[in-house]
A and B are shown apart, each in its own frame.
Chain A
């Protein structure tokens, strides 16, 4: 039987050579059976015609000669090295020594981000933005870090234009003066970003004095108007109350993402100050919010509530009734209220609810309590816009009552929610756009004044009353640009340059006799000087009317969903949308890159039929949704199921969906500003329906939970305070001769170790309690180490090149501790199959933890032993070296790395049109750090622990002939970390901070059990969650 069937099969087995063979009586198949080719090759036509052949000037012999000559020439040419030209300065500037970096203190104030920074320049090119340590508490977030790349954006405007034609500045000046003099009786609005600049305010005043028909209106693309209105009503001047969360013991945030961009952001430094469990005391942080935010991820208690419920929560917290709240929320509110009351002056409430009433209620509450965390005397001045005024401008342009509009640093055609604005704008009598790019507004404006980047400009900022900063140019303007202030000086017939004007203003009004040069060198200046309020503040009447509209208890939710618009950590208000570093930076929460998306809770997704699923290569796919509010619809918005999203609420990031002055690859996402009605981030009555198609996400993390594994160690303050370290931070044990010994014991070790007690031995410590997940270190690492951008398609294939990633984990149960319990209690095959699968699913309201992971620089590195060419080897200083020129790209090391931190260059990312990002144009390449090699295709790369920086520190000390002090050694990530979560140093210096960290009870190594003995250590996360 068997035999026959086998034979039978054998005889019938048929192999197809093409699909064509499936068709019966296919003429092609028949022909092919007879002939080699389907059609006859016209050899006869070609060779048979002797005349043509003879007429050809190239004979066969000639042809062979050419081939021979070309080959010989090519091989000869290859023997000769290229001639490299070296062109020195004709007159070298005194301060530039080729090969030595210069640092200049400066300040950024782009209307969304305000910070005091230090600019690192090499041979006159700014290449990196760093902290200015003189500016206490100032944060340099990822967008500010990345702003240096926006300087070298090839899509920048290179010259001013009039009606789309290149013009000279003289033409612009003449045109403006002529137009302005014709329009003396017509209303002209100067619509600007918040400058927070004393000198610019003064200049604008002078401009308005000359042209009284001009009205100055401040427009913040992402508004904090209600908070400023509330502050103005209560304290008389316009500003935003400042908070120092380091002084608070109980922090209750109702919809305020203060670790993100709430009211200008930058609160994490203070917040972390009181989150150090060392003294047995930490602040306690309640977060009531709809979207999962950084603040919610870091909170001790996070309660998902919809925006409508948030109003009720705030009402209950400030003394109102609890009615209308679900029981679990009410319970949390009661707890929060009790703790707030107990904390007394050390409690503080903040809110992100965009109504004047809610903001007033918070101010009143904190004020009445005497909260020490709130500073109302020195308000922040970084977001001064008023919704009513901006709306009036929008409507005025649409109705035609406003005849002229000068926009500075804002892009209203893109960001105004009313689609009719664009058409109306085109028909204005006068439209001047000051812009760095030909954005949506500039492309319609009659005159476009190309402005320089802040790194090419002079300027000043006053971020907070009394805290001043100076901006100085660090490079000559790359293009024919002129800054707004310089134009105002020209238009007011002032012969001074802006530098002279700025200096004079500072010397007369701010410095009070102090040295200008010193202030410029420091970049920051603190003074209690009272500046005359020059900014045109909205009158209180305007505020009153605005308030009546936005009473606290709107609760106008009638079915549908509530949408909370937010800004992503990477993109902010979208000014830097053409910045590939930011596009490729994973969102700290969703870990998605190159996109904005609708965040939906799992329950709502199930109801609406949305799904997220992973495809064969692991990449994430998701459904599309159509969102409509009133008559505005956004079609095909990708849906991302977000654990922790409050049921009945959805979230969508602003700043995406740009189409102007942005290269094709970076035209990502949808424009959520079209839903930003009344400049209120909460949009009610949103109807959402499933749309056709499947969206392909580029998400860098595909495993969302730890499944009870020992990756991030976390404990509660209570356990931390009361139990021994071995309970909450146990050393993994191995069995040797039936004896349990710690894995770090020499007996459990097969390896001979180097003697590391001599010289430097570098260690990096990451405090998981202090890490908020902000991602500034990721961008700092890109800038320092020339990390290439690979684009969305490659990201989707998990081929990202980030040397430093911040893993985000959700708990599967209520908390990570519950995950452990669940895993430990699994028994039996059936249970393990089902329960492990359950552990893969994130909880509805999970705990969230962040873990920055870079090369762990293992002393017993698995990668080093498997490299066949010894391209990766260990240095005595603890660094795991990677010699790119030796690497042949076997990728054995990456396969053998338990931490998955090695990155392979699948392609050439520099000068390759397939990867048309900053490394593909001369301008973008100016940002490269000349001390670090740009890697080529086919080699492995990874974190070097910034060996170029440690080597420089050592060399500087050698040259000066002095020992190195603690704190001198730095890496890009450690110096970018504003909360001090990342600490770097030499552990052989026993007086150093890093040595202290190695001895800390909280210290552990990632995957200690595998015995790699890393030089990167983590400090156990401690959360102030009370068991109850």
Chain B
């Protein structure tokens, strides 16, 4: 246990360091983003002048209505829309966007062609969009593809950070110098005083040669005995602490076949845990989501455009590469936007392993008790790499069962038994232990 705490300390220290680094690097990102945004806006203004639409308003409309199926530069469910206004007549586009199926049924050759090309998937009709709105959207589609800026490596040297360290060093050095001077001065003063004393004939006592402490200690058998006992006890304490953590995998963070970041999904994007781990609500297993669940979103999201963590090499390209790994596993062909049928199931490394003789049911905790996932799994939304947060020992389970009150509101199952039991124990709220949650057979069968 002691070791575990120490380990925690270490990890906290490293976290602190990481945090420090991040604060420096984030400023860099912000600057970069600003730099990227600037030419984009400039370009948009040019387009506005050219086409009589407002690309800024168009961007909002595009994200609200079109982005689910279309991308500017790549094929998605529908075709890429970059400079689509040049490909088709403006009036045709108005008609198509407002109701594409009408055009297809009417037998318009362009319409039929595109309908066939995209696997006869029907484009939603947008009768609510005015021609002006469509102009705005089209104006936005002329936004040129940003030239990818070369990835910069880590926080640059110099700058404010470098200055502070330098000043600190100077202060430290001068302080050391002052101390040194002080010591020398004191020595000199003492020497002078002694000389004066000798000159004045003052005699001071010579110290008697006392036996060394070490010898005294060795001769005192009682002290040796007590120290030995203390030493033994101490080492036993540490040995026990060390041994108790054998087989505990707290902090176990294996490298997974696909670098899946909970930080991005549950943290930045705030996806509910239960969206992917849906069986946690109704089964004993929380379940690792099947890949078709990933594809619900990743059919559209084929590249990463969020924040980067350059320190660890988590660049946009890196994350996008991981999405491609998903595509390969699930057999998704991006060019044709269809499944090839060649599936390569992902062999995730299991992190949380309860022994077989312990029965644990997620739904009991998630649905019935309403326990937050984070209670046992820790700050998952901050985990770039998933790790085991809790020790998952029996003592840990039991502690929680002793301390936690059962939330019974609105659950008719508990109504009668709770009333009777609280009368028996004379309490308002019952702990799980009082409900029988510590009995062996509740988890071991």
Contact = CB atoms under 8 A, between A and B. Distances in A.
Interface of A: 79, 81, 83-92, 97-100, 755, 757-759, 871, 873, 875-877, 879, 881-886, 931-934, 944, 947-948, 951, 954-955, 957-964
A426 B220 CA distance: 100
Contacts of B247: 81
Interface string B341-352: 001011111100
A950 to B, nearest CB: 10
A759 B436 contact: yes
Contact of A90 (B292, B355, B420, B439): B292
B282 A961 contact: no
A83 B349 contact: yes
Contacts of B395: none
Tell me which of B246, B285, B349, B445 has the highest count of chain A C-beta atoms within 10 A of its own C-beta: B445
B234 interface: no
Contact of A85 (B349, B357, B417): B349
A954 B414 CA distance: 10
Interface string B388-421: 0000000000000000000000111111110011
Contact of B413 (A92, A758, A879, A961): A961
Nearest to B415: A963
Interface string B29-65: 0000000000000000000000000000000000000
A81 B249 contact: yes
B431 interface: no
A964 B287 CA distance: 28
A759 B421 contact: yes
Interface stretch (B8-16, B225-233, B358-366): B358-366
Contacts of B345: 87-90
Nearest to A960: B413
Nearest to B331: A90
A100 B278 CA distance: 13
B291 interface: yes
A interface majority secondary structure? loop
A97 B412 contact: no
Contact of A884 (B292, B357, B368, B413): B357
Given A86-B288, A944-B445, A876 B357 contact: no
B interface majority secondary structure? loop
Contacts of A959: 282, 363, 367-368
B145 interface: no
Given A89-B345, A91-B292, A759-B420, 10 more contacts: A86-B350, A88-B346, A99-B283, A757-B420, A759-B417, A885-B357, A955-B364, A959-B363, A959-B367, A963-B415
B357 A933 contact: yes
B439 A876 contact: yes
10 contacts: A87-B347, A88-B288, A89-B345, A92-B292, A97-B279, A755-B424, A944-B445, A958-B411, A959-B363, A963-B416
B339 to A, nearest CB: 9
B413 A957 contact: yes
Given A98-B279, A958-B364, A958-B368, A90 B343 contact: yes
Contacts of B421: 758-759
B412 A98 contact: no
Nearest to A100: B283
A933 B415 CA distance: 32
A881 B435 CA distance: 16
A838 to B, nearest CB: 45
A758 B417 contact: yes
A933 B445 CA distance: 6
Contact of A84 (B289, B349, B444): B349
B344 to A, nearest CB: 8
A879 B444 CA distance: 13
A876 B291 CA distance: 43
A943 to B, nearest CB: 11
B203 to A, nearest CB: 67
Contacts of B444: 881, 883-886, 933
Contacts of B440: 871, 873, 875, 881-883, 886
A947 B279 CA distance: 23
Nearest to A760: B417
A925 to B, nearest CB: 13
A909 B331 CA distance: 42
B385 to A, nearest CB: 15
B134 interface: no
A881 B440 CA distance: 7
Nearest to B249: A81
Interface of B: 246-247, 249, 254, 279, 282-285, 287-293, 329-331, 343, 345-350, 353, 355-359, 361, 363-364, 367-368, 410-417, 420-421, 424, 435-436, 439-442, 444-445
A875 B435 CA distance: 11
Nearest to B424: A758
A944 B444 CA distance: 10
B368 A881 contact: no
A873 B392 CA distance: 23
B310 to A, nearest CB: 30
A948 B347 contact: no
Contacts of B424: 755, 758
A951 B442 contact: yes
Contacts of A99: 279, 283-285, 287
Given A85-B349, A100-B283, A963-B415, A877 B436 contact: yes
B413 A964 contact: yes
A120 to B, nearest CB: 15
A885 B355 contact: yes
B353 A758 contact: no
A83 B289 contact: no
Contacts of B368: 955, 958-959
Given A84-B353, A931-B359, A882 B285 contact: no
A932 B445 contact: yes
Given A88-B291, A92-B290, A951-B442, A83 B356 contact: no
Contacts of B414: 958
A869 to B, nearest CB: 11
A90 B348 CA distance: 12
Contacts of B413: 954, 957-958, 960-964
Given A100-B283, A883-B441, A962-B412, A87 B346 contact: yes
A13 B413 CA distance: 79
Nearest to B347: A85
Contacts of B289: 88
Nearest to B416: A963
Contacts of A883: 357, 440-441, 444
Contacts of B364: 955, 958
A88 B420 contact: no
A193 B284 CA distance: 43
A84 B357 CA distance: 17
B420 A758 contact: yes
Contacts of B436: 759, 875-877
A754 to B, nearest CB: 11
Nearest to A870: B440
Given A85-B347, A959-B363, A875 B279 contact: no
Nearest to B420: A758
B404 to A, nearest CB: 15
Given A755-B424, A959-B368, A963-B412, A86 B348 contact: yes
A757 to B, nearest CB: 8
Nearest to B356: A933
Tell me which of B356, B357, B411, B424 has the highest count of chain A C-beta atoms within 10 A of its own C-beta: B357
B287 A98 contact: yes
Given A85-B350, A90-B291, A961-B411, A98 B441 contact: no
B264 to A, nearest CB: 20
B420 to A, nearest CB: 5
A99 B360 CA distance: 11
A961 B408 CA distance: 9
Contacts of B290: 88-92
A100 B282 contact: yes
Nearest to A957: B413
Nearest to B414: A958
